[in-house]
Copies of this chain bind each other. A is one copy, B any other.
Amino acid sequence: MWPLSQKPGWAAATAIWSTRMSLARLDNKWTAMVVIALGRGDGLRFGDLRAVVQGISAKVLTETLRDLERDGIVARHEYAEMPPRVEYELTALGRTLHVPLQALGRWAEKHTAEVLEAREAYDAGRR
């Protein structure tokens, strides 16, 4: 195996990753969880999302949803009622994104123990 840096086209092809991965909105640490949450039920309310995505503040949830709406991943439905009701759901594009993200969520659930063990072993070695 030769150094990647000498592989023709590699650097150029991978240079745009950062841009594309940003488009996937992975730069916002909450995005993935919001999309996964939305992928489960249809018509989730703001409050439901806050409860499900534990730890997120109202402000950040609002911003995250705005960004996702702008990117065509989330659709916002506002009902002129009293009290006001707003529901969010994934668009068709959003549902395609939900697939790999859900796979990632499953990975996390499945391998949590292994990661924790590795972490303890590492820390034990350092001590």
- What residues of chain A have their CB less than 8 Å away from a CB belonging to chain B? 1, 3-5, 10-11, 14-15, 17-21, 23-24, 26-27, 29, 32-33, 36-37, 40-45, 47-48, 51-55, 69-73, 93, 96-97, 99-101, 103-109, 111-112, 114-119, 121-123
Q: How many copies does the complex hold?
A: 2
Cβ contact within 8 Å between B119 and A52? no
Residue of B14, B70, B100 touching A107 (CB-CB under 8 A)? B100
Known interface pairs A71-B115, A99-B103, A100-B107; 4 further A-B residue pairs with C-beta atoms within 8 A, sorted by A's residue number: A5-B47, A18-B33, A20-B105, A93-B115
What residues of chain B lie closer than 8 Å to A43, measured between beta carbons?
A: 1
Contacts of A19 in B (CB 8 A): 112
